[in-house]
Chain A
Amino acid sequence: MFLFVSKNLQTMYDVPGFSDNVNEDIKNAWNEAVKSNYNSSDSNPDPKYFPLDPNDIRESSDAKVFWFADPQEPQHCFDERIAQQLSDFGIEGRKLLHNEYCEYTIVKRQDSSGKLRPKRVNVTTEFKAYWECVARRDPNLLRKILKEILGIQPSWQDLYGVDDPFVLTEQMRAAKFSRLDKINTDNALFMSHPINGLSDLIYIVGFGSKPYAVKRNGQIEKASREEIFTAKRVRSLACRHADPAASMAAYGAVFGGNQVAFKNPLGMYIQSFNTDALSFQGEPLPEKWIRRSRANFSSEGQNEWCQRLVIGPSDEEPYFLDDIKIETGEFKEPVVGGFQILKSIEVGPLITTGNPKSLLSSDYLILDITGINTAIKCNKAEVCSEIQQLKEQYEKSKLHTSP
């Protein structure tokens, strides 16, 4: 089936966050990536409810789609204290737990007594797919972005394993992309968790943008999260914050007769951050210790939005991350990692809805849930056993490091 008719579809979306001044080529590549993910998505996005092009949506208004970024699954399986320990447990914690479309790394440095202490937290909501476009199409831009983020310019050898990446074909450059893994592990350039991808976001919005319904006493009614996630056999996604928030917001709009689309620029954004919760020596945090970047929203209200957030002092300053306190009411504790920061952050994509039109009774996709127990017990989720293993690994590592 041929879904696309619009001519300038190639440049439907600007690059995430308008963050880079890119040429048409990169923009096209990004739009290609979006398009191909949309076309091949396992959730079979239905253009009748979820068109790819936001320009197709008239009488549009913004949907409010965001969620708190702290990993939720370990809080269901265990509690907040353990969730914090495991989420802050280096790359292992990130790989398993940072799955609310927000990842971070903790930068550590030695203090004057030689003790290794957390210095900064780097938080990112950038899509890997965008970085792949850049690495493949525009080595100069890749190096420029890295210079901005890291403060130093990596060599071509570091990035592509050759002295001149311009002699490589795009495919060859793409094949070198994994060279960024190490820098990404250390600095959180973009999201790398397997369900934090562009394809996952398109999947979940496509999944939610369907006129599901249940029949109760012969009446068509709105389905619940538990009913939808059970009937569609994706119960494993139902206990996070991101997937239910994104899909149920889309579903709510569609069930109300609206269409849903990503708004330009398609991306994942840090949409709120309660910086008042942080203090240093009893005062608000110095502004330079909160560095937002990778976004260029000029319109009012969104200028605090970003895809990258760095919290903490620079290497030149004699302070550390744990000199910063996070406070809730009278409760005060030093910031020791990223989990505490993520609790004050909401992230989400930009979604627009509109084109209101009444649904016909033949439009509804009636979920067959007769005889099925749809109750979802999040503390019994399958992922809990994986998290249990990580917990054991964490505990073992503590045994090794404590005297």
Chain B
Amino acid sequence: MSFETKLQEGIYYDKGIKPGNHLCMTFLSVRDQIDAPILGKYLSELWTMYDELKKGKIRDLPNHIVPSNHLTILIGFGINLFKKKLRNAKRSAPDQLEKYSTFKKPLPTGGGPILQGAGLMYDDDIKTNPATEDILIQFIADSQLAVDRCVVETWKFLNDKSFYSNEESPLVLGNSYTGFQRDDFRSWIDFHDGISNMESGTARLESMRIKETNIDQEKWTQNGTYISFMRIRTDLSIWRKLSTVEQELAVGRNKLTGCPIISITESGLPVVIDGCPVPGTSEVTETGNEHFKDISEGVIKGDKLPESHIHKANMKRSNDTFLRDSNRIFRQGYEFFEPIDISPGFRVGLNFVSFQDTPRRLNDILTSTNWLGKANFGGSIESSAEMKRFLTIRAAGYYFVPPYSKVDKFPGSSIFLE
């Protein structure tokens, strides 16, 4: 008997829905090879604890509810789980997970491209990629505490040896990355971000939902999706060496208003689309400017603009998101700020998160020279060697996000349990 499946929670694509303010992406690795049913049982228990957390219940505080702040929890599985860790799995790795779900390893001395043909490189100090663990858990809530607490509660759970006979937990807690939404709708590079991200609802859903298939062993993946995660550092000292005009041409939008640029004057100045922002407003994010968020095909004039980030990342500008070839992806990024103990004392950037029906969409964007291939961010400014180091990667991974079905103990439980 088949039950209705849908995307897991934690993907805020629908009309009228706003993502929670805080993200924590946590990675878990499976200690050793393990029988799938044993791990499945353990994950079911973990999931029960997560369900309690969503209701504000903490195991160490029986009968005392804390605010859960609209906590959502999403789980994803990496290729190594299927290939290296699970014995007697009930499902084999989905085809697209096997083929497209890994990034290159960093060079042994640090750095190196994340994909063959990509212009995004690991940071110089990154010698191993921490986002290659077996399991990804995405926590999103409206407070920092609500997501941080999930990591601590996960740690408690894994440490609770008495719970799992007397042995060590089969799971090991890996890195966690936190981030936040911004109430100015901008990014550390000062420009608006998340402006053009397809219409809420169907267009977004069709870009990321795994489609109906005639292949029997892949049918269980329908309505699931693939999550990508990249911890991207932005080097603001490089960015701030550019003039405002250079920055605007690199992004493809006006820095102050967020209005899209549609041509360049002979003297090289950007021209924004007519009428943006509408009178009485000053930013594209304000009511009345909706139709300026996404620019349709045929609006751009001249040859230089397609080099801008917003074009390199969306060459087709097609709302026909169903076809893989549109390369549309649903972005759900969260910015980050982390104190570090070397100058300037902090590191900032973006937790790039996207959902797509196959990792191939993002891979193609990142490696085709028609798209962002060989480019670091975009813009004709890319010819400068320094600009090629503007964005650097601290971690990058793809995970299969199984569909939600109310009969499953947890999303993906059919990988482990009958």
Contacts and interface: CB of A to CB of B under 8 A. Distances in A.
Interface of A: 59, 61-64, 66-68, 72, 77-82, 224-225, 241, 244-245, 248-249, 252-253, 255-256, 258, 271-277, 279, 327-331, 344, 346, 353, 377-379, 384
Contact of A68 (B98, B213, B302, B325): B325
Contacts of B300: 61
Contacts of A279: 116
A62 B214 CA distance: 39
State the 8 A-B residue pairs at the shortest beta-carbon distance, nearest first.
A329-B102, A252-B297, A253-B298, A276-B117, A330-B102, A274-B117, A256-B298, A276-B116
Contacts of B116: 274, 276-277, 279, 327-329
Mostly helix, strand, loop or mixed at chain A's interface? mixed
A272 B215 contact: no
Contact of A274 (B98, B213, B303, B369): B369
Contacts of A255: 296
A225 B322 CA distance: 10
Contact of A256 (B99, B105, B214, B296): B296
Interface in B58-91: none
Interface in B317-374: 317-320, 322-325, 363-364, 367-370, 373
Which of B95, B306, B317, B320 has most A Cβ within 10 Å? Answer: B320
B364 A330 contact: no
Interface of B: 95-96, 98-105, 113-117, 211-215, 218, 296-303, 306, 315-320, 322-325, 363-364, 367-370, 373
Contacts of B363: 328-329
Contacts of B95: 79-81
10 contacts: A64-B315, A78-B215, A225-B322, A248-B318, A249-B316, A276-B113, A328-B102, A329-B101, A330-B102, A353-B298
A79 B215 contact: yes
Nearest to B364: A68
Contacts of A256: 296-299
Contacts, number: 122
Contacts of A245: 316, 325
Given A271-B370, A329-B103, A59 B315 contact: no
A78 B316 contact: no
Nearest to B80: A330
A365 B56 CA distance: 56
A63 B298 contact: yes
Contacts of B325: 67-68, 72, 241, 244-245
A274 B297 CA distance: 25
Contact of B104 (A63, A329, A384): A329
Contacts of A72: 323-325
A77 B296 contact: no
Contact of B323 (A66, A77, A244): A244
Contacts of A248: 318, 320
A331 B320 contact: no
Given A64-B316, A274-B373, A249 B104 contact: no
Given A272-B373, A384-B214, A224 B115 contact: no
A327 to B, nearest CB: 5
Given A64-B306, A329-B100, A78 B214 contact: yes
Nearest to A353: B298
B103 A61 contact: no
Contacts of B113: 276
Contact of A59 (B99, B117, B301): B301
Contact of B367 (A244, A276, A378): A276
A274 B115 CA distance: 11
A273 B323 CA distance: 20
Given A272-B369, A331-B99, 7 more contacts: A61-B301, A64-B315, A79-B215, A249-B297, A252-B298, A255-B296, A330-B105
A245 B214 CA distance: 25
B96 A80 contact: yes
Contact of B320 (A244, A277, A353): A244
Contacts of B369: 272-274
Contact of B115 (A252, A329, A353): A329
A264 to B, nearest CB: 16
Contact of A277 (B117, B211, B218): B117
A270 to B, nearest CB: 11
B98 A61 contact: no
Contacts of B318: 248-249, 252
Given A79-B218, A277-B116, A330-B103, A252 B317 contact: yes
B174 to A, nearest CB: 18
A274 B368 contact: yes
B214 A61 contact: no
B238 to A, nearest CB: 24
Nearest to A284: B116
B223 to A, nearest CB: 14
Nearest to B115: A329
Nearest to A274: B117
Contacts of A68: 325, 364
A225 B303 CA distance: 27
A353 B317 CA distance: 15
Contacts of B319: 224
Contacts of B303: 61-62
A79 B213 contact: yes
Contacts of A276: 113, 116-117, 367
Contact of B211 (A225, A271, A273, A378): A378
Given A244-B320, A252-B296, A329-B101, A272 B96 contact: no
Contacts of B115: 328-329
Nearest to A67: B325
B351 to A, nearest CB: 20
Contact of B370 (A59, A272, A331, A377): A272
A64 B320 contact: no
Interface centre among A225, A328, A346 (most CB of B within 10 A): A328
